[in-house]
Amino acid sequence: MSDEMVRFQLRIPESLRRHLAESAGLQHRSVNQEINARLVASFGDISDLPPLPVPPPVSEKRTVQSRLNALEDAVARLEAAKG
């Protein structure tokens, strides 16, 4: 793996941790190596994947949210007018 390794904290149920530890032991590797192997297997060759979409800037999110709020208010007023 040519990517820089980073530390990543993960919360999982104890039963899953035990299962991973048992599987790692059977494969003669650490739990960390087991998790890495399983993730790589699930994604395949990630160099072939298209890049993940970049989320909009926070200011754009606020604009979209304010428009959504305005539409919801308009719908509520129309429903109340029907009423």
53-80 pLDDT per residue, tens: 777 776 766 778 888 888 999 999 988 8
Same domain assignment for residues 3 and 32: yes
24: CB partners within 8 A, 6+ apart? 30, 31, 33, 34
Tens of pLDDT, residues 10-45: 999 999 999 999 999 999 999 999 999 999 888 877
Give yes or no: residues 21 and 4 share one domain: yes
Question: Are 42 and 72 part of one and the same domain?
Answer: no
CATH number, position 17: 1.10.1220
| Distance between CA atoms of residues 13 and 18, nearest Å | 9
**Are residue 44 and residue 58 in the same domain, yes or no?**
no
Task: Print the domain residue range for 3.
Answer: 1-49
pLDDT at site 1: 42
Total structural domains in the chain? 2
Q: Do 69 and 41 lie in a common domain?
A: no
Q: How far apart are CA 39 and CA 52, in angstroms?
A: 17
Residues 65 and 25 in one domain: no
Residue 38 shares a structural domain with residue 74: no
Do 43 and 57 lie in one domain? The reply is no
- Provide the mean pLDDT of the chain: 85
pTM over 0.85: no
